[in-house]
Structure 1
């Protein structure tokens, strides 16, 4: 289970716009932002959530380097497809289109995109009877 994930980014406004659009099909209902005056992070940070506290943070956090792979969960295949389409429309790059991933298990459906920073973002449906689109 993921409580939250933090990803280093070099252009917070660009990445904020990308994630706001890409996460809309998942029901992302909030964005929390902090500037360098409110936290020890420099530059600012933005957190995204569906229910309650932010689950995904982006920012200029020192010490975080490299490419992140984060898997987020979906309840159905239609959401996996909507995420992939929204992420590409927001400037993401395809890293594995929506479809079954039988090497994980027979009903696993997922899609992968690279965000503007090159991080690998996955949306996956693990439901045993994940309904087809």
Structure 2
């Protein structure tokens, strides 16, 4: 549905380091970086773009797709190591669906970052 999502951050260097470390387990990496910010993607079809802003960013909920539950768990560990706050350890969320396996963290600007796998356990 989306080609890209762009949002501002209060500390570009800290946010760049956080997102690169936290999202590496699901294959997200730098596509490009320039004076306007950084573009991250896993598939080259859709991207997350981050730029420095002087305004206080509104809190977002960003949910990324994982291929398997191990990626959800790896994201959670990497995000906490990168300085995120726990907002929901990896696990099934049966109130969403029987296969909704996700983890949630709060990132540097207070954004709720989620990685979810919709596949059954293998």
* TM-score, normalization by structure 2: 0.89
- 1:115 is aligned to 2:107: yes
Which aligned runs of 4 or more in structure 1 are off by greater than 6 angstroms?
none
Deviation at residue 76 of structure 1 after TM alignment: 0.8
Task: Find the structure with the greater CA-based Rg.
Answer: 1
Q: Secondary structure at the match of 1:71?
A: strand
Q: Distance in 1 between matches of 2:54 and 2:121?
A: 39
Residue deviations 1:40-99 (CA, integer Å, cap 9, x gap): xxxx41111112255111113588831010111011110000000000001111111100
Residue 27 of structure 1 deviates from its aligned partner by 1.3
**5+ unaligned residues in a row in structure 1: which ranges?**
36-43
Structure 2 residue runs without a partner (length 5+): none
Q: Is the 8 A contact 2:57 2:109 kept in 1?
A: no
Distance in 1 (CA, whole Å) between partners of 2:108 and 2:41 is 19
8 Å CA contact 1:98, 1:109 repeated in 2: yes
Look up the SS of the partner of 1:23 in the other structure. helix
CA-based RMSD of the aligned residues comes to: 2.0
2:90 to 82, 86, 98: 98
SS of 1:7's partner is strand
User: Scaled by the length of structure 1, what TM-score is found?
Assistant: 0.82
- DSSP-derived class of the 1:88 partner: helix
